[in-house]
Structure 1
Amino acid sequence: MLIAFRGVGAGRARSGTHRWWSTGDRVGFEKSRNGPCSDHQKLPKLGPSNVNSSALTGNGENAELSSMTFVSDLFAIALGGSIGAVLRYLITLTVVSAPLSGWLTLHGSVGTTLANLLGCCALGGLFQFSQALVASDWVATGWAASLANPRTLLAVRIGVLGSLTTFSTLIGETAVFASQGRILASSMLLGINVIAGWCLFWAAAAVVRNWTS
């Protein structure tokens, strides 16, 4: 679904949205007018075709540079993924270890839900942050400038938040409740994750939009 944010032209917002979610491009900020997101930082489409074509044209140095950039991106994602996975484990462990009572504490469902909601909130803010970089005159400064680095965004979005949130674990937990005949608990758990996650995503996006406008 393509959405044009307030204060952003519909055409440019669509372009930024498509690029931000695309897997064939690092983050999609190559059209940004700001320094950290210039053309020379763009990673080619995933796959060996670019390296092979460069080699055939005798452009071996560019092929080697592209390969090194791709490997560096993979390491950044791996580092972010390890951080996100540990965070989710610690959140779940904290909730399970807390002196709570109730049907949702079984199997760490509260921990999974909390991790998912935090991830949705953070992803919503990061989404709008990327839109501001691509399609507005806002210039990131301070810590925001560090976050605007394409590789950092890649590590946070795919690595940290991708590992922090989990859909498969959520489905597994709802299936356990359903198999125990606890249909209401299963439905509520799924509904909370989907509806509250959706609301938190756009709430965070609205906050960041006001900050960057």
Structure 2
Amino acid sequence: MSQLLAVGLGGFFGAIARYSITEFMSRKYPGFPAGTFVVNATGCLLIGILMAIVSHKQIHSSVWVHKHVSLFLITGMLGSLTTFSTFGHETVSLLRNAEMHHALINIAGNLLVGLFAVWLGWSLVMLWIQK
């Protein structure tokens, strides 16, 4: 039961963050799904950082890798912050509206920036740990 609570609470905060960021970005950049892009890129950076911390042996026994903390942050918070389904919906909407250029930027941006962000997050933790 406590594991479900950790995931649920993380999901609550992640969903609020996602909604807030998406609303802010949609006002700032109307016509392009910048909010989804930002939450996905941010989530990728954070999961790179968190998974590096969780998997590293030197800090394996710390509070940061406690099962409930991992469930709260990774499964709950990042799981509801990031969104593949909204990315898919927004990209198809751009294509249906004949906005091929924006659709291709959205696809390439989410994929390339997302993968780079995961790598960057992981790499930053590894550099920090090695010092």
User: TM-score under structure 1 normalisation?
Assistant: 0.58
Is the deviation greater in 182-191 or in 74-83?
Answer: 182-191
Q: Which has the higher helix share?
A: 2
Report the secondary structure of 2:98's partner residue. Answer: coil
**1:130 Cα deviation after fit:** 1.3
Taking the aligned partners of 1:196 and 1:117, their CA distance within structure 2 comes to: 6
1:208 and 2:121 aligned: no
For the pair 1:94 / 2:18, whether they are aligned, the reply is: no
Aligned to 2:107: 190
Mapped to 2, the partners of 1:160 and 1:198 lie a distance apart of: 19
1:119 paired to 2:78: no
Task: Quote the residue 2:34 is aligned against.
Answer: 110
Q: How much is the aligned-residue C-alpha RMSD, in angstroms?
A: 1.6
Tell whether the 8 Å contact from 2:54 to 2:64 is kept in structure 1 after alignment: no
Residue 3 (structure 2) pairs with residue 79 (structure 1): no
Deviation string 1:90-132 (CA, Å, 9 cap, x unpaired) is 001111233x4xxxx32x6101100000000000011111111
Question: Shift in Å at residue 190 of structure 1?
Answer: 1.0
- Asked if the contact 2:53/2:60 (under 8 Å) is kept, the reply is no
CA distance in structure 1 between the aligned counterparts of 2:52 and 2:112, rounded to whole angstroms:
19
The unaligned stretches of length 5 or more in structure 1 are 1-70
Deviation at 1:154, TM superposition (A): 1.1
Give the drift of 1:187: 1.2
- The AA in structure 2 aligned to 1:97 is R
SS in 1 for 2:16: helix
| In structure 2, C-alpha distance between the alignment counterparts of 1:129 and 1:109, rounded to whole Å | 31
Q: Counterpart of 1:159?
A: 76
Alignment map for 1:136-155 (pairs within 5 Å): 136=57, 138-139=58-59, 145-155=62-72
Q: Give the number of aligned pairs.
A: 130
Q: Which runs of 5+ in 2 are unaligned?
A: none
Distance 1:153 1:122, change over 3 A: same
Normalising by structure 2, what TM-score? 0.92
Tell me the percent identity: 28
Larger radius of gyration: 1
1:181: Cα distance to partner? Answer: 0.9
